[in-house]
Amino acid sequence: VQDNSRYGVRVHANASFDDDTSLFSGNGAADVYLHGGTLDREVSWKLHSRYTMYLSESITVAPGARLRIRPGTVLKLARYKAINVEGELEAQGTAKAPIYFTDWRDDQVGGDANRDGNDSVPAASWWAGILVRDAGAALLEHCEVRYAGYSNSMGLGKTGSGPLTIRHTTIRETFGAGLRLDNSPGVHTLSGN
pLDDT band at 135 (very low <50, low <70, confident <90, very high): very high
pLDDT band at 133 (very low <50, low <70, confident <90, very high): very high
pLDDT of residue 192: 98
Each residue's pLDDT tens digit, 75-109 = 999 999 999 999 999 999 999 999 999 999 999 99
Q: Average pLDDT in the 5-20 region?
A: 96
pLDDT of residue 16: 97
Each residue's pLDDT tens digit, 148-169 = 999 999 999 999 999 999 999 9
Q: Average pLDDT in the 16-26 region?
A: 96
The three-state (H, E, C) secondary structure of 91-146, written as one string: EECCCCCCEEEEECCCCCCCCCCCCCCCCCCCCCCCECEEEECCCCEEEEECEEEE
Each residue's pLDDT tens digit, 112-129 = 999 999 999 999 999 999
- The CA distance from 108 to 41, in Å, is 32
Against a cut of 0.85, is the pTM above it? yes
Each residue's pLDDT tens digit, 30-76 = 999 999 999 999 999 999 999 999 999 999 999 999 999 999 999 99
Tell me the percentage of the chain whose pLDDT exceeds 90: 98
C-alpha pair distances (Å), 167 with each of 11, 103, 111: 29, 22, 26
